[in-house]
Copies of this chain bind each other. A is one copy, B any other.
Amino acid sequence: MATVQPFLSPRVRQLEASRIREVANAGLGRPDVLAFWFGESDSPTPAAIGEAASASLAQGETFYSHNLGLPSLREAIADYTTQLHQPLGAAPVTSDRVAVTSGGVNGLMLAVQALVEPGDEVLAVTPVWPNLTAQPRIMGARLRTFGLTVEAGAWQLDVEALCAAITPQTRLLILNAPNNPTGWTLTRAAQAAILARCRATGTWILADEVYERLYYESLPCAPSFLDVADAQDRLVVVQSFSKSFLMTGWRLGWLVMPAELTEVMGKLIEFNTSCAPVFVQRAGLAALAEAQTLVPAVVQHLRHCRDTLVPLLREIPGVETQAAAGGMYAFLRVAGHDDGVAMAKRLVAEAGLGLAPGEAFAPEAAGWLRWCFASRDPARLVEGVARLRGWLQR
């Protein structure tokens, strides 16, 4: 055979390795490292949620489930969403608009599979969790990015410029707000303007709102596209049990979409994972039943974490950062340090401090560092700041 096809396709070879993992690997086997690099609380899931799963297992609920999830969980999600968002202007969300997914990231991937053809133009607002830009690439889309801007440590969206960048060729707009890593949060006015533009161009909006409950302003949750959209709008909202319910390892999330899309989503779930395990869905039901006490406690603790960390960081000469309105990250840079990967690696090696480099999230975040403040013991955050300060003073 004269020519043989390449072992790996170019599309897959070009998938970037995680820059976070690259830094974390530098700390492997170093129990002395204070790690704040991953987007995960160090608190385990509340016991009642795990017990619901164990009870389901003991009852032998070990069979396939509906592709779209247990009807009872879809109902509970619809009720939870309606109770949260109807007071903020949203139409009631009915269960025929809900699909249960194997985590938020799985929901995002399903949405991209459903909406994007190879060659389609996808526009993503960055910096952003790298999975959101990798997924359209995997599906063969042409990815464009639109960068936030930063002023005095606060990240902002030029709404008018974004709307101008959305054209009839833009099949899908991807946004994540409250934003990982910057903490940037969309305003209601910005959402309305973006929605109006996307209605005009026929562009779908994929809104990753998994941090909506981790919101530190007066409302019970961050502004959602659900609050401004109709039930028929080209909008898919991605949610997850991971952050608000301390359930990262469970791989359970959901989508809210136009009812017309739900049947297709069920097929795609069949072809991707078939379903979420029933006993995991029972845990989700238990979590939602506890939402009114559980989530505010999580948010109160995270607010305390944020308000412990950020003022200490801002006291360090040369550090630029702002308290984020939402999410669970401080995003910072230090004057004179322009290479986030190099700095993060040095912090691991020389200070025992584990942060994620901004380069993981977008070129425009080069030199920045992401610090996950979801720490069960806030003293870890204080000690982490001391290590950063000590390292900078060397």
Pick the contact of A249: B61, B102, B264 (CB < 8 A).
B61
Which residues of the partner chain B approach A54 to less than 8 Å between Cβ atoms? Answer: 53-54, 57-58
- Do A268 and B50 contact each other (CB < 8 Å), given the known contacts A38-B64, A105-B273, A277-B250? no
For the complex formed, measure the closest distance between the CB of A261 and the CB atoms of chain B, giving whole angstroms.
Answer: 7
The complex is assembled from copies of this chain, and their number is 2
- Determine the distance from Cα of A58 to Cα of B15 in the docked complex, in whole angstroms: 37
Interface string of A128-156 (1 = CB under 8 A from B): 00010011001110000000000000000
User: Which A84-111 residues sit within 8 Å CB-CB of chain B?
Assistant: 102-103, 105-106, 109
- Do A271 and B134 contact each other (CB < 8 Å), given the known contacts A8-B264, A114-B12? yes
Which residues of the partner chain B approach A57 to less than 8 Å between Cβ atoms? Answer: 45, 50-51, 53-54
18 contacts between A and B (CB under 8 A): A1-B168, A7-B260, A8-B114, A12-B113, A12-B264, A12-B268, A13-B264, A16-B267, A45-B60, A54-B54, A64-B248, A65-B249, A103-B273, A103-B274, A105-B273, A139-B140, A251-B273, A251-B277
- Determine the distance from Cα of A119 to Cα of B140 in the docked complex, in whole angstroms: 10
Which residues of the partner chain B approach A115 to less than 8 Å between Cβ atoms? Answer: 9, 12
Chain B CB within 8 A of A202 CB: yes
Interface string of A14-44 (1 = CB under 8 A from B): 0111100000000000000000001010101
Chain B CB within 8 A of A218 CB: no
- Do A63 and B105 contact each other (CB < 8 Å), given the known contacts A260-B7, A271-B131? no
User: Which A229-277 residues sit within 8 Å CB-CB of chain B?
Assistant: 234, 246-251, 260-261, 263-264, 267-268, 270-277
Q: Determine whether the beta carbon of B61 is less than 8 Å from that of A4.
A: no
Which residues of the partner chain B approach A276 to less than 8 Å between Cβ atoms? Answer: 251
Chain B CB within 8 A of A200 CB: yes
- Do A249 and B105 contact each other (CB < 8 Å), given the known contacts A57-B54, A117-B11, A134-B271? no
Question: In the complex, what residue of chain B is closest to A105 when comparing beta carbons?
Answer: B274
- Determine the distance from Cα of A217 to Cα of B103 in the docked complex, in whole angstroms: 41
Pick the contact of A250: B11, B62, B131, B139 (CB < 8 A).
B62
Chain B CB within 8 A of A201 CB: yes
Question: In the complex, what residue of chain B is closest to A247 when comparing beta carbons?
Answer: B62
Chain B CB within 8 A of A280 CB: yes
Pick the contact of A138: B12, B113, B260, B277 (CB < 8 A).
B113
Chain B CB within 8 A of A311 CB: no
Chain B CB within 8 A of A5 CB: yes
Pick the contact of A1: B139, B202, B271 (CB < 8 A).
B202
